[in-house]
Amino acid sequence: MKQTSATFLQNAHDAMLQPERSMNRQRLGTLMPQLRDSGVASFGDFDALRAHVSEVRTHTLDHLDHYLDSYVKQATQNGNEVHFARDGDELNRLVSDICQRHEARQVVKGKSMVTEETALNDHLIAEGYQVTETDLGEYILQEAGETPSHIVGPALHKPEAEIRELFLDRHDLGDRELGDAAALVAEARGLLRQRFLDADVGIIGANALIADSGYSVLVTNEGNGDLCANLPPVLIVCTTLERLLPRFADATDLLRLLARSATGQPISCYSTLYSGPRRDGEEDGPLETHIILLDNRRTDILASDYRDMLHCVRCGACLNHCPVYVAAGGHAYGWVYPGPMGSILTPLLTSLDESHDLPNACTACGRCEEVCPANIALPDLLRDLRHEELLAQLSPRRWRMGMRAHAWLLTTPGLYRRLTALAVRSLTWLARGRGSLARLPFAKGWSAARDFPAPESANTFMHQYNSLRKSRHGR
Amino acid sequence: MALFVTCLADVFRPSVAFASLALLKAAGCRVSVPRAQTCCGQPGYNSGDYRGAGDVARRVIAMFESADYVVAPSGSCAGMIVKHYPRLLEGEWKERAQALASRTFEITAFLTDVMPLPAGDRTPDTALTNRKVAYHDSCAGLRELNIREQPRALLRERAGVQALELEKRDVCCGFGGTFCAKMPEISATMASEKLRDTIDSGADMLVGGDLGCLLSLAGRASREGIDLEFRHVVELIHDHRSGQGIGAGPANGAGRQ
């Protein structure tokens, strides 16, 4: 996937010009938080569970070597082949090698942000495989040639009418009509059912890996993950190291946080444990199973001050609650992960140089941190990235100089007082009795979209206050 | 106690600082206004300039730590001192920051939770009886300091105003300090949503506890030609009749008491 994070502002500008999609985002920006709130409210002590899971995950990451060792041992004993991939290319090669070994032609995929990260589809298609995304949203995007705008609801940006147009254009419909949303779903389901049956290899992700049993856990609302995992003869699970948890009970705790935070559901429609290949005497399940653990800089994150990001459960709550995400839309962020979590992960997994606008796409409103089921201090991490940006001199020079001058001025009160007095007098003079100014030469950013309210008086508070004190003492 | 004026009140809205002074005196405080104060340093801090913000923070701490209480007419500036100074500083300065943080309050919280205003010393302003007033929760006050009911209670009890609620009252207005200059278009979209929400609530006046949000919203309303009055909450609690709303023209002898 080609990264366009460097043009975040232009991407956002383009997105905000589309009225229907913008209104759709605003609607979801109200609806999704309502769903999450009702899901959390019906749970009882959500905060206690959140704190508990956070402790478990801190512990797991602190002892990652131990749990990884246990997981690999158990998973191998269960008949899985476990692979490690240092980066996206390595994961993609491992997958295509497996496909080649089985002389596969058709591949079906469950929704997996990890394989979005490695651009696996492009790789497999280039190698000549037919790849079908089977999550409805992902399928729609694949047909439309678009990328996900949300990590849970990848096609949330597409209005129903656009999807109808797409199916009318891409499917051989004959006499069938696509009257309502249910008809659209049925249309996709019919086509996908045959793809599941024809597939040689199924690829899914994982929401958790359980160290003491070697099982992986996946939740979906459509059941497509289970069909990908059980119908084709070969299953490949593509996931990452930080999904590890010690015990099954820890995974169930995590799933309770995840489902409520993502959609307000008490539990996702399908929660499945995958142990390994079909055993002797069993009638179904894959004959061969592989698990690929992708690093892609995650061990660097583990060793950095951004380690808490590895607690992220990919629920999307921070996206749904972020007013910048709602205004600009997920595509503006220009890579796989949008919103607050994406504005941290993108610089860490790609480069800050390519994405230095993203940590600035934040008003520090704190709503993401409030709802994050993993208790990640997202605004603090975003600010820390802005600090790094400053140290690396990635922000515009005039910003950096301005900031240095500002800090110096704030610690030089005599000059500060004279300059603010001058500024207030100038602004009052420029306003000439009007309430606000339409244009200001030194505040282009502000006056592009707003008038500039004039000070209410030609003198600062400090000036007025000091004059009052003097005149009182004079009496 | 010491009044932290805030840079925005100093420059744009002296009447907010004068109203704060008067309210704190009415609550029985002996108020000082440290003369060398400038700003809490939040713009630099949020832009990642930790070194510059640290210099400002140490200066503020040294200047204000002799006071029993520090009060600011802003959830954002009070939140900077309460939540972020201790995060920013190390060692002895961290301890001094924590000590100051425990004595620093946003003004409506202070006048409700710490030094309540005496009951019945002010009759509600009759000029407000026919106004429809909505309250805007600023994010820092709401989430860093848990300010939600205090300003509404003061409006009810001191100004006779039952604040209207916005549908998306916990959503940011798009100001975000330097954010609104770095990303003006996204910021304006967010401000427009907040203005729409305000109008939908039936309000003709929006009050809040942070001048940053109010100046930004007033500027956007003026650009969009939306007729709304914007005021800081202390203006209503103290004396509504001091001049015009934010961005609506010069005040008449603004704020002088």
Please check whether residue B112 is in contact with residue B73, taking contact to mean a CB–CB distance below 8 angstroms: no
Q: What is the DSSP string of A330-363?
A: GGGG-SS--HHHHHHHHHHHS-TTT-TTGGGS--
The CA-CA-CA angle for residues B55, A384, A52, to 5°, reads: 120
What's the start-to-end Cα distance of chain A, in Å?
75
pLDDT score for A424: 93
Could you report the per-residue pLDDT of B227-236, keeping only the tens digit for each? 999 999 999 9
| Domain limits, chain B | 2-114, 126-238
Which of A420, A430, A473, A421 shows the shortest CA–CA distance to A453?
A430
Element (H, E) at A53: helix A46-62
pLDDT score for B239: 73
What's the rounded Cα separation, in Å, for the pair B39 and A80?
Answer: 61
Among chain A residues, the shortest Cα distance to B52 is held by A407
Q: List CB contacts of A229: < 8 A, sequence separation 6 or more.
A: A110, A202, A204, A218, A235, A272, A274, A286
pLDDT score for B241: 65
Which structure tokens are listed for B1?
């106690």
Helices (H), A264-396: 298-302, 317-320, 323-328, 339-349, 367-371, 378-391
CB atoms within 10 A of CB A397: 8
Which of A40, A50, A154, A31 shows the shortest CA–CA distance to A373?
A50
pLDDT score for B124: 64
Spatial strand order of the sheet with A270-274 comes to: A244-245, A208-210, A216-220, A270-274
Nearest-CB residue to A390 (from B49, B188, B216): B49
Q: What is the DSSP string of A439-455?
A: --TT-HHHHTTS-EEPP
Which of B82, B187, B75 shows the shortest CA–CA distance to A446?
B187
Residue B134 has pLDDT above 80, yes or no: yes
Contacts by residues A176-184 (CB-CB < 8 Å, ≥ 24 positions apart): A184/A160
The architecture (CATH level 2) of A43-300 comes to 3-Layer(aba) Sandwich (3.40)
Helix A413-431 vs helix A461-474: crossing angle, to nearest 10: 110
The CA-CA-CA angle for residues B54, B56, B62, to 5°, reads: 100
Distances (CA, A) of A207 to A32, A61, A297: 21, 16, 19
Helix A136-144 vs helix A160-170: crossing angle, to nearest 10: 60
Could you report the per-residue pLDDT of B156-211, keeping only the tens digit for each? 999 999 999 999 999 999 999 999 999 999 999 999 999 999 999 999 999 999 99
Could you report the per-residue pLDDT of A184-209, keeping only the tens digit for each? 999 999 999 999 999 999 999 999 99
pLDDT score for B255: 35
Instruction: Give ipTM to 2 decimals.
Output: 0.94
> Average pLDDT over chain B, rounded to whole?
93
The minimum CA-CA distance between B105 and chain A, rounded to whole Å, is 19
* pLDDT bucket at B122, cuts 50 / 70 / 90: low
The minimum CA-CA distance between A431 and chain B, rounded to whole Å, is 9
Among chain A residues, the shortest Cα distance to B37 is held by A413
| Residue A312 three-state SS | coil
Contacts with A452 from chain B: Cβ below 8 Å: 219
Instruction: Considering chain A, tell me which residue range(s) the CATH 3.40.50.10420 domain(s) occupy.
Output: 43-300
Distances (CA, A) of A8 to A48, A266, A299, A335: 37, 35, 27, 10
B225 in contact with A at a CB cutoff of 8 Å? no
What's the rounded Cα separation, in Å, for the pair A96 and A104?
Answer: 9
pLDDT score for A108: 98
Which of A336, A314, A338, A342 shows the shortest CA–CA distance to A327?
A338
Contacts with B248 from chain A: Cβ below 8 Å: 435
| Residue A291 three-state SS | strand
**B222/A451 Cβ within 8 A:** yes
**A449/B246 Cβ within 8 A:** no
Among chain A residues, the shortest Cα distance to B144 is held by A366
Cβ contacts below 8 Å, chain A against chain B, sum to: 230
Please check whether residue A135 is in contact with residue A110, taking contact to mean a CB–CB distance below 8 angstroms: yes
**B44/A403 Cβ within 8 A:** yes
Residue B256 has pLDDT above 70, yes or no: no
Low-confidence ranges of chain A (pLDDT < 70): 441-442, 474-475
What's the rounded Cα separation, in Å, for the pair A354 and A331?
Answer: 15
Could you report the per-residue pLDDT of A367-422, keeping only the tens digit for each? 999 999 999 999 999 999 999 999 998 888 888 888 889 999 999 999 999 999 99
What's the start-to-end Cα distance of chain B, in Å?
20
Per-residue buried b or exposed e for A346-355, using 16+ beta carbons within 10 Å of the residue's own CB: bbbbbebebb
**CATH for B126-238, among 3.30.420, 2.30.29, 3.40.50, 3.30.450?**
3.40.50
Which B residues in the span 232-251 are in contact with A, Cβ-Cβ below 8 Å?
243-244, 246-251
Which structure tokens are listed for A110?
């469950």
pLDDT score for B251: 52
Which structure tokens are listed for A254?
């995590």
Which of B9, B204, B229, B197 shows the shortest CA–CA distance to B107?
B9
